[in-house]
């Protein structure tokens, strides 16, 4: 894409990560589609034409639609169409009708009116819940948790659904190879730690994409042999996470507000946010039954995985509730609320 579209950086200034690009697509300078868009509107739909994906990216951007949700919902429509559950001409591998359907979704026209409600709604109405790849109504980003069990747990329990911005354990499991991806051991502690830290980082209004370079700068983490870190992370995540340096963010907070904040208080603030959100969800009827994954990810294995591994969600979920201080139905216990100074009455719960 860099060669074909002669890309250059197009990012928030003055960020040094420079994660966005623009380029010349058919004589027009456009934002280059990013990873999630290419994943969900590309390979997810068996489309490998970057110009078409760019067209759809433009439509979604102009219409204020999320490309992950749009791509996930189109995939449900294509599969439901194949199986005769939903009347549509959309087909995997074909670009025909996708641009028009995206506009119909935005304008609530024809079949677009149902698809605008997302794959959970459509699957409930027409069938195909096992292949509506969503959690709590949010379509899943382009990381298959069958190759990253911790991310499977993270998607299942995230307060707003299959969200990779609430937790990105896959980065430690897969990209950085710091924890064994195909084990359920230690994943609950790791998911909780990441959720707490990310909640606080997001509350600082700093970009989450800058998080990993900061976190991984400690000499211990940088210069320790990877296999030692991996054993430690997999066997004792609660201890290993102490090697991750998050001191920069409390320092940001202190430098702006003048209030002292240590690492422990920073993590505790994130924990309070997480539990508060969960309590609000509980008030809306969310519980263990919603902390799950689409049946396809729990029962079907990947063709590339010769060991045919599916996600051991139940085992990780029990442990996660324990470390979070939730009961076995996923409801925050009174003593957890007391520890975090959360008053139910103030929420009207
Ligand atoms: S890393 Fe964040 S702040 Fe930096 S360019 Fe990307 S989105 Fe913007």
Ligand 1 atom, smallest distance to 15 CA: 4
Query: Measuring from atom 2 of ligand 1, which residue has the nearest CA?
Result: 207
Residue 347 pLDDT: 65
Cα 247 to Cα 269: distance, rounded to the nearest angstrom = 14
Mean pLDDT is lowest, of 139-143, 208-212, 279-283, for 208-212
Helical H segments across the chain, by residue range: 2-5, 35-41, 50-63, 67-82, 98-107, 112-115, 119-126, 149-157, 169-170, 187-203, 211-215, 219-223, 226-235, 237-240, 248-257, 263-283, 295-299, 313-324, 334-339, 344-347
Residues 296, 302, 305, CA angle at the centre, nearest 5°?
150
Structure tokens at 183: 């084990």
Residue 70 pLDDT: 98
Higher pLDDT, 245 or 133: 133
Counting ligand 1 atoms within 8 A of each CB, the residue from 207, 208, 213, 214 with the most, and so the one to mutate, is: 207
Counting ligand 1 atoms within 8 A of each CB, the residue from 171, 208, 210 with the most, and so the one to mutate, is: 210
Contact 90, 97 (CB under 8 A): yes
Query: Measuring from atom 6 of ligand 1, which residue has the nearest CA?
Result: 19
Q: What are phi and psi of 329, to 5 degrees?
A: -100, 5
> 86 C-alpha vs ligand 1 centroid, how far in Å?
39
Q: Rounded to whole angstroms, what are the CA distances from 69 to 47, 138, 208, 244?
A: 16, 7, 20, 32
Counting ligand 1 atoms within 8 A of each CB, the residue from 11, 22, 34 with the most, and so the one to mutate, is: 11
Q: Rounded to whole angstroms, what are the CA distances from 23 to 35, 315, 324?
A: 15, 46, 45
Structure tokens at 51: 């110009």
**Ligand 1: residues within 6 Å at CB?**
11-12, 15, 17-20, 207, 209-210
Domains of the chain with CATH codes: 33-132 (1.10.569.10), 145-347 (1.10.599.10)
> Which residues, in sequence order, are CB contacts of 105 under 8 Å at separation 6+?
65, 70, 73, 112, 115, 116
**Pick from 86, 89, 37, 94: nearest CA to 66:** 37
- Element at 139 (helix H, strand E): strand 138-139
Mean pLDDT, rounded, for 132-156: 96
Kindly report, residue by residue over 21-73, the tens digit of the pLDDT: 999 998 999 999 999 999 999 999 999 999 999 999 999 999 999 999 999 99
Kindly report, residue by residue over 201-256, the tens digit of the pLDDT: 999 988 888 777 777 777 777 778 888 888 887 888 777 777 778 888 999 899 99
Binning pLDDT at 50, 70 and 90, where does residue 131 land? Answer: very high
Residue 74 pLDDT: 98
Q: For the whole model, what pTM was predicted? A: 0.93
**Pick from 138, 166, 129, 137: nearest CA to 150:** 166
Residue 291 pLDDT: 98
Contact 317, 288 (CB under 8 A): yes
Residue 244 pLDDT: 79
> Considering the chain, what percentage of its residues have pLDDT values greater than 70?
98
Distance of CA 98 to the CA centre of its chain: 25
Higher pLDDT, 307 or 221: 307
Residue 348 pLDDT: 62
Q: What are phi and psi of 332, to 5 degrees?
A: -60, 130
């Amino acid at each position: 894409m860099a060669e074909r579209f002669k890309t250059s950086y197009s990012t928030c200034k003055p960020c040094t990560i420079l994660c966005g690009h623009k380029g010349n697509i058919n004589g027009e300078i456009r934002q280059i589609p990013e990873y999630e868009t290419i994943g969900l509107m590309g390979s997810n739909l068996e489309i490998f034409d970057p110009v078409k994906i760019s067209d759809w990216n433009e439509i979604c951007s102009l219409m204020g639609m999320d490309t992950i949700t749009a791509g996930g919902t189109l995939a449900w429509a294509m599969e439901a169409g194949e199986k005769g559950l939903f009347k549509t001409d959309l087909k995997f591998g074909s670009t025909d009708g996708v641009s028009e359907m995206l506009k119909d979704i935005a304008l609530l026209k024809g079949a677009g009116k149902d698809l605008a409600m997302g794959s959970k709604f459509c699957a409930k109405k027409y069938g195909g819940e096992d292949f509506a790849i969503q959690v709590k109504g949010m379509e899943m980003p382009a990381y298959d948790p069958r190759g990253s069990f911790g991310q499977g747990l993270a998607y299942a329990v995230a307060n707003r659904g299959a969200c990779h911005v609430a937790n990105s354990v896959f980065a430690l499991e897969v990209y950085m190879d710091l924890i064994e991806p195909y084990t359920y051991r230690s994943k609950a502690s790791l998911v909780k730690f990441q959720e707490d830290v990310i909640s606080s980082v997001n509350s600082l209004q700093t970009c989450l994409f800058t998080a990993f370079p900061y976190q991984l700068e400690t000499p211990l983490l940088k210069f320790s042999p990877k296999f030692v870190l991996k054993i430690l992370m997999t066997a004792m995540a609660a201890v290993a996470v102490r090697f991750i340096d998050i001191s920069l963010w409390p320092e940001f907070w202190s430098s702006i507000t003048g209030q002292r904040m240590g690492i422990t208080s920073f993590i505790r603030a994130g924990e309070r946010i997480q539990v508060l959100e969960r309590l609000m969800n509980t008030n809306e009827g969310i519980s263990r039954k919603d902390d799950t994954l689409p049946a396809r990810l729990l029962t079907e294995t990947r063709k590339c995985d010769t060991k045919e591994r599916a996600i051991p969600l139940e085992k990780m979920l029990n442990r996660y509730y324990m470390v979070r201080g939730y009961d076995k139905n996923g409801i925050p216990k009174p003593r957890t609320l007391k520890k975090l100074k959360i008053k139910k009455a103030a929420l009207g719960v």
